[in-house]
Structure 1
């Protein structure tokens, strides 16, 4: 019990540190990202009206606003609190960081939503970002122009067309195998098919298809879950204190 208490205290310190510095770094990143547009608006003499800025923001919010809500709700159960700061600072979450986190969790045999799952996500995202930066430096910074000149254009188009479905397909299979929740997987597949069919018949629905699919899948999976199972994470023991953020 003493060891579990010490672990609980260490995780509490970890949560406080990541929450504090996560907020600070996100605010700094926001300031840097807005500094160049702010300079163009107020100091570059481009005669940009504030009303035009709000109109453009409203147009973008109408299209992508739902993603601002859906993405954090979708990623948090898998990544955890500390990894969310990393993910939204780095970017490329769905096609790079999320697959890395899920593969890491499956490899070491932990479940999303647990403290071990969160810590494995942190390590996986650090590794993915490091590999990304090194590969960008080598294959884009040093060899980018040469590679583009020697690779046939049709191959480049084929890679651009199929690379994302390939990555996402592998991640979906990995998630189904590692989670061992066939009922939830079937529900997600059925909901996705219905949403895609509706989006094809009614084009404006496509703007909200992701939100509808996520919310409908989560709701149905909850109500249709196997109520006989306790849902206790496999990587906890009786001596450990409850999982979750500690403040």
Structure 2
């Protein structure tokens, strides 16, 4: 689809610009605190904090683009990276949009539908963030305790919902993903230090390998 290729080229061109602007926007507050107001924790504290953060989320630098790309495409990756909330908002919105449209993940049409879903979720998210800013604290403070405890289950519920949507398409891959994630959780618990990033890396890439093997087997038999 020539039109789609030209569209992606424009997305990459403007996406790079927005990513650079986003990087400067993120760095602006600490630069102001350091060079204008003179508040600085020291280079040793900055390095220690950076190492700690990288050890936890560094694996997502590799796993998220690979695992999310078939769902949301190039445009969706740019939007998701800048807006955040990938797991609890962007990916569920993209998956729902693709499923509702009838297109398949991994196709150009599916990527476009996923992008539309993500774009809509950004505006919806902004609305609810503003509403929560002005009304959320008062509302949450008056909720019953059992309801507030249930709110902590939102993220696991979203994970489970997305997993279920894909599990019905390949139950063997789903079972393998659950098993490898469980095994890696137990292994990482025995390792010294905070090596939780290994759970994500190993689980994502081994599951992709298993799914690819199953797909090749189906294609050979068909």
Q: Is the 8 A contact 1:103 1:174 kept in 2?
A: no
Equivalent residue for 1:207, pick from 197, 201, 209: 197
After superposition, the Cα gap between the structure-2 partners of 1:176 and 1:47, relative to the gap in structure 1 and judged at 3 Å, is closer
Does structure 1 residue 155 correspond to structure 2 residue 147? Answer: yes
Give the length in aligned residue pairs: 221
Q: Give the drift of 1:48.
A: 4.4
Taking CA–CA contacts closer than 8 Å with sequence separation of 6 or more, which of the two structures ends up with the larger relative contact order? 1
After superposition, the Cα gap between the structure-2 partners of 1:144 and 1:63, relative to the gap in structure 1 and judged at 3 Å, is closer
Q: Is the 8 A contact 1:187 1:221 kept in 2?
A: no
After superposition, the Cα gap between the structure-2 partners of 1:51 and 1:205, relative to the gap in structure 1 and judged at 3 Å, is closer
Equivalent residue for 2:179, pick from 174, 185, 190: 190
TM (normalized to structure 2)? 0.87
Asked which structure has the greater CA Rg, the reply is: 1
TM (normalized to structure 1)? 0.79
- Name which of structure 1's ranges 67-76 and 197-206 shifts more when overlaid on structure 2: 197-206
Does structure 1 residue 172 correspond to structure 2 residue 163? Answer: yes
Instruction: Give the superposed CA RMSD.
Output: 2.4
- Unaligned runs of 5+ residues in structure 2 are none
What does residue 52 of structure 2 align with? 59
Does structure 1 residue 39 correspond to structure 2 residue 32? Answer: yes
Q: Give the drift of 1:193.
A: 2.8
Q: How does 1:81-96 map to 2 (within 5 A)?
A: 81-96=74-89
Q: Which has the higher helix share?
A: 2
Q: Give the drift of 1:189.
A: 2.6
- Unaligned runs of 5+ residues in structure 1 are 1-7, 231-247
Partner Cα separation in structure 2 for residue 208 and residue 145 of structure 1: 36
Structure 1 residues 159-186: Cα deviation after superposition (integer angstroms, max 9, x where no partner): 12x1111111111111223xx2233223
What does residue 111 of structure 1 align with? 104
Partner Cα separation in structure 1 for residue 40 and residue 195 of structure 2: 37
Partner Cα separation in structure 2 for residue 189 and residue 48 of structure 1: 41
What does residue 49 of structure 1 align with? 42
Q: Give the drift of 1:108.
A: 1.7
What does residue 16 of structure 2 align with? 23
Partner Cα separation in structure 2 for residue 52 and residue 136 of structure 1: 31
Structure 1 residues 76-99: Cα deviation after superposition (integer angstroms, max 9, x where no partner): 222111110011111000111111
Q: Give the drift of 1:217.
A: 1.2
Q: Give the drift of 1:228.
A: 4.0
